[in-house]
């Protein structure tokens, strides 16, 4: 799966993943009204609206990008009905040939991590038949509990040829509160980065490891250091666009092969129709606006990975 992801990034010249993180106020009115009239103005109606909204975006962009990253919290907020749409979205994106990163940020003690890994990446066997819970291709993981919370995920990934992105340095303003604390003169995120590189050796793909890292676009200097610490790690870079990261800042996240980083944009793509420069599409043309936003992002990022290649 890491090989598929890296190849698609190369072939499409698009180190891009789109965050399918639907907020209810992103969903255009015409979709919401249609869903309410069909399913009622209730949870089922909201779930249907989110599903139709997602489907419209995926249909408009799937040929341009290698991967999507649905953020499960945005579905979990609507309980079971929301999670059913998460599952439906994962399945649909995979049908469309997209690599699906479940942004789930799970992590617990060993036996519990094993259960999460089963539910999101693995399978259960009952009466000789196999069932898969959410069945993403990759999952994001929180490292705070250390190796024995991470290894059960890696074990399932090895069996399923799937992968992880482990939080190293997150994009949010207060990420430094703990992550930047110095340990023998070295920030915690570097220590975590070193561990990710070690864990990565347990499950290598052709050029990159199945075990990736999350490093926010908002901290390019830290990105530079982490790129060196984790040379064979694919870095998932959140925080581009709406959170403030720009293409030109992202050079340090890429390797000299022009690869090594995949940049996420969520609202910058899925709610592009509400953003400056995309007004002409209107709410009815929200999916076309998303397509144009992907094309614009691809151009913006081209500078970064081309510069890294030099």
Q: Which residue, 215 or 308, is less far from a copy of itself as judged by CB?
A: 215
* Cα 172 to Cα 208: distance, rounded to the nearest angstrom: 26
Candidate ranges 54-62, 92-100, 175-183, 284-292; the one touching a copy of itself (CB under 8 A)? 175-183
User: Which of 28, 66, 119, 212 is close enough to bind a copy of itself by CB under 8 A?
Assistant: 119
Q: Is 113 in the site for a copy of itself (CB under 8 A)?
A: yes
Please state the separation of Cα 213 from the chain's center in Å: 11
User: Which of 3, 29, 144, 158 is close enough to bind a copy of itself by CB under 8 A?
Assistant: 144
Q: Which residue, 173 or 282, is less far from a copy of itself as judged by CB?
A: 173
Q: Is 307 in the site for a copy of itself (CB under 8 A)?
A: no
* Cα 150 to Cα 169: distance, rounded to the nearest angstrom: 17
DSSP state at residue 204: B
Q: Is 195 in the site for a copy of itself (CB under 8 A)?
A: yes
Q: Is 190 in the site for a copy of itself (CB under 8 A)?
A: no
Contacts of 7 (CB under 8 A, 6+ apart): none
Burial of 111 (0-12, 13-18, 19+ CB in 10 A): exposed
Given a contact cutoff of 8 angstroms between Cβ atoms, the answer to whether 146 and 187 are in contact is no
Q: Among this protein's residues, is 105 annotated catalytic?
A: yes
User: Which of 56, 66, 149, 212 is close enough to bind a copy of itself by CB under 8 A?
Assistant: 149
User: Could you say which of 34, 105, 161, 302 is catalytic?
Assistant: 105
Please state the separation of Cα 58 from the chain's center in Å: 15
Give buried/exposed letters for 152-173 (b at 16+ CB in 10 A, else e).
bbbbbbeebebbbbbbbbbbee
Q: What is the DSSP string of 226-281?
A: HHHH-TTPPEEE--BGGGSB-GGGGGGGS-TTS-SEEEEESHHHHTGGGSTT-GGG
Strand partners, 187: 182
Candidate ranges 1-9, 138-146, 251-259, 290-298; the one touching a copy of itself (CB under 8 A)? 138-146
Q: Which residue, 265 or 292, is less far from a copy of itself as judged by CB?
A: 265
Q: Is 291 in the site for a copy of itself (CB under 8 A)?
A: no
CB of 90 to a copy of itself, least distance (A): 11
Given a contact cutoff of 8 angstroms between Cβ atoms, the answer to whether 236 and 212 are in contact is yes
Mask for 65-84, x = binds a copy of itself (CB under 8 A)? ------x-xx-xxxxx-xxx
Contacts with a copy of itself, residue ranges (CB under 8 A): 21, 23, 36, 41-43, 45-46, 71, 73-74, 76-80, 82-84, 87, 105-113, 115-116, 118-120, 124, 126-127, 129, 131-134, 142-149, 167, 170-179, 181-184, 188, 191-192, 195
Residues taking part in catalysis: 105
């Amino acid at each position: 799966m890491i090989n598929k992801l890296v190849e698609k990034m190369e072939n499409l010249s698009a180190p891009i993943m789109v965050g399918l993180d639907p907020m209810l106020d992103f969903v255009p009115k015409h979709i919401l009204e249609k869903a309410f009239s069909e399913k009622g103005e209730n949870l089922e109606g909201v779930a249907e609206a989110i599903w139709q909204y997602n489907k419209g975006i995926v249909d408009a962009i799937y040929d341009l990008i290698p991967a999507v990253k649905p953020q499960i919290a945005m579905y979990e907020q609507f309980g079971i009905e929301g999670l059913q749409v998460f599952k439906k979205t994962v399945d649909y994106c995979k049908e469309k040939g997209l690599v699906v990163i479940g942004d789930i940020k799970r992590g617990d003690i060993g036996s519990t991590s094993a259960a999460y890994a089963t539910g999101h990446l693995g399978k259960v066997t009952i009466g000789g038949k196999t069932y898969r819970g959410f069945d993403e291709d990759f999952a994001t993981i929180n490292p705070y509990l250390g190796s024995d919370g991470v290894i059960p995920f890696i074990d399932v990934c090895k069996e399923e040829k799937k992968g992880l992105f482990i939080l190293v340095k997150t994009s949010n303003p207060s990420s430094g509160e703990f992550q930047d604390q110095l340990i023998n003169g070295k920030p915690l995120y570097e220590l975590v980065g070193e561990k990710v590189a070690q864990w990565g050796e347990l499950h290598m793909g052709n050029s990159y490891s199945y075990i990736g890292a999350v490093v926010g676009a908002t901290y390019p200097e830290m990105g530079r250091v982490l790129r060196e610490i984790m040379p064979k790690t694919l870095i998932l870079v959140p925080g581009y666009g709406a959170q403030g990261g720009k293409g030109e800042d992202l050079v340090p996240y890429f390797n000299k092969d022009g690869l090594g980083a995949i940049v996420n944009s969520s609202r910058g793509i899925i709610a592009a129709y509400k953003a400056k420069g995309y007004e002409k599409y209107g709410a009815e043309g929200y999916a076309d606006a998303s397509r144009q936003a992907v094309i614009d992002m691809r151009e913006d990022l081209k500078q970064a990975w081309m510069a890294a290649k030099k």
